[in-house]
Structures are given as structure tokens and as C-alpha cells.
Amino acid sequence: MGSPTERVIGALYQIAGYMVSWTYMLPHTRVENWKKLRELAGLTDLSNPPRQLYYTGTWNPDLFTSCVAIVGSRRISDYGRRVIEKIIPRLIFEKKTIVSGFMYGVDQYAHEVCIANGGKTIAVLGWGIKHPLEGTDKKLAARIISSGGLLLSEWEDQKPTLWTFPVRNRIVAAISHEVIVVEAAVKSGSLITANIARRLKRRLWAVPGEITSRTSAGCNSLIDQGYARMWLGDTPQQLPIMKDPLVQLVADHVLTANDIARKLGKPVSEIGAQLSLLTVSGQLIERGGKYYVSEN
């Protein structure tokens, strides 16, 4: 039968079926003088900002007030689905707008879970706004629009090609205040988004996964190198303070999360969670991916 979230998504797809025809009668619109719009100021941080922007839906400046991008693998795992189902309701409660890239996998599931939980989402397309959609893509687009979200593209007629998707990623990062990488292989396009987010000084998070999982290798690498903070799914106030012999190990050697995992023979995801707890409690300090004992 699937999880409760998956059942809600299925029901919404049935409802959306009769909405598709009228939704796609709505014309797309060019954003006039987008560089003058305060809500799009983040795009001016790019060295190569888009020349034009087009959208389908109802433009609402408040949508851009606090955007969080959810990105990840097209080969979404059950773990990735559960993570998204945990992350997004909290973000919606905090009145965040969910941004993603509308591709199958993590992107589309993020859009779906957002809508199912009453949130609003922006889909940044890797093709022109006029490019026809079919099947479940068309239904999802209809639901995004009817729930108060937007389809956004820098092109009007462009067909999807290999180069349009990585180019699209810079817009995902630039309009977002934070970027969360849910699942990503080492050579995933999501790491392009992560690298752009770093350059733009957006807050970057990565969800740790099993060290044997190819779809988590990119996330674990971002954490190990100190490029991304670890997303544990709880606020610091909810994290229990715990004592750990790991502190003594760090007292003797300045180490990365990966170094510590090797020395203790534990998964980097488990070690990373402990390091985050110890950092939140003030026992450890993290600088550039390396951990030190706090002098306080």
C-alpha cells in the first residue's frame, strides 16, 4: 500500500488528472526586468546570470523569501524517500519554499511531498518553458501551479539536452538560501549544484548515508571534506548531549570524520552524527572539515 505520504501523493495525482487541461491553457510569462526584482537578487550573485526568465503559474514575490533547495540522485532509494518525507514537513512548518529541478528521482519526489504536505514549490526546468510535458510530468506540473508554486526557466523554446541540466543547476542554487543534498553519487549533477552553492556562500547541507551506498558517496564526501554540514533531521535543541571516547581521540590527533571512522572501524554516517552532537554541545570545534577539542 506504501507509506501514508505515498498514498496521499497517489490520491492527489488522481485529482490532478482533470486539472491538467485547464492548467496548461495558462500562458507562460516573461519576467520583465528581473534584475530589478528584490526577490531575484540572489541570481545577480552569479557570474553568468540568465538573460531572461520565464514562468508558468502566478508570480508571488513571497515565494522567494526563504527558499530551500532539495537536490539529489535520479536513482532515488527507499532511504532517500524516507529522508525527504522527514525533512520537508519540517521545512514547510518553518514556511520555507521548496526548490528543485523537476527531474525524476529526488527532485520530483521533493515536489510531490511538498505539495502533499500543503507547501509551495518552485520547479526550475532544464528546458524551455514551452516544451510540452506528458504523463505524470504534466500532472505534477499542474499540481505545482494549482498549489501556488511556479515552473521557472531561463529559456522559452529550448529542448532538454545534456548541457541544459547542469546549466539549470546554477539557478536552483542562486535563488535558494540553503541547499540540502539528499542522495548523490560521486559524479552526480547534484554536486554541481552543491559546488555552486558553496561559491555563492549558500548554506550547504548533506544527508549522510551508508559508506557502501553509491548514491550516498557524494554526500559523504561533501561532509568528509568539510564542504557541507551534516543534516540529521533534528534541530540542535532536540539533540541529546552525549559523552563519547571520540573526544579523546580528537584530543590526541586533528582528524576528519573519515579519519575517525577508519580508526574506530565505524561507518562515517555514524561517526558524523556523533561529531555533530559533540560540536553542538560545544565539546568539539570543526574547521575546514577537521575536528578539534574545544578549549572552553
Mean pLDDT of the chain: 85
Q: Kindly state the helix (H) or strand (E) to which residue 284 belongs, with its residue range.
A: strand 284-287
Looking at the predicted structure, is the pLDDT value of residue 20 above 50? no
Rounded Cα–Cα distance for residues 179 and 161 (Å):
24
Q: How far is CA 198 from each of CA 17, 91, 208, rounded to the nearest angstrom?
A: 39, 21, 18
Q: Which residues contact 77 (CB under 8 A, 6 or more apart)?
A: 183, 213, 215
Q: Rounded to the nearest 5°, which phi and psi values hold at 294? A: -65, 140
Residue 204 DSSP SS3? strand
The predicted pLDDT at position 269 comes to: 81
Across 222-238, average pLDDT: 71
Rounded Cα–Cα distance for residues 111 and 268 (Å):
29
The predicted pLDDT at position 196 comes to: 95
Nearest residue to 63 (alpha-carbon basis) of 195, 233, 177, 205: 177
Across 57-68, average pLDDT: 96
**The CATH number of domain 234-296 is 3.40.50.720:** no
Question: pLDDT (tens digit, 9 = 90+) per residue, 77-100?
Answer: 989 999 999 999 999 999 999 999
The predicted pLDDT at position 16 comes to: 46
Rounded Cα–Cα distance for residues 73 and 91 (Å):
20
Looking at the predicted structure, is the pLDDT value of residue 214 above 80? yes
The answer to whether the CB of 105 falls within 8 A of the CB of 73 is yes
C-alpha cell read off for 138 = 504534466
CATH classification of 4-233, choosing from 3.40.50.450, 3.40.50.300, 3.40.190.10, 3.40.50.720?
3.40.50.450
Say if pTM beats, i.e. exceeds, 0.85. Answer: no
Rounded Cα–Cα distance for residues 274 and 257 (Å):
10
Instruction: Grade residue 286 by pLDDT with cuts at 50, 70 and 90.
Output: confident
The answer to whether the CB of 259 falls within 8 A of the CB of 275 is no
The pairing of strands 67-71 and 150-153 is: unpaired
The predicted pLDDT at position 163 comes to: 92
CB atoms within 10 A of CB 92: 20
Parse the chain into domains and list their residue ranges. 4-233, 234-296
Across 197-214, average pLDDT: 90
Looking at the predicted structure, is the pLDDT value of residue 23 above 90? no
Q: Which position has the higher pLDDT, 199 or 250?
A: 199
Instruction: Grade residue 39 by pLDDT with cuts at 50, 70 and 90.
Output: very high
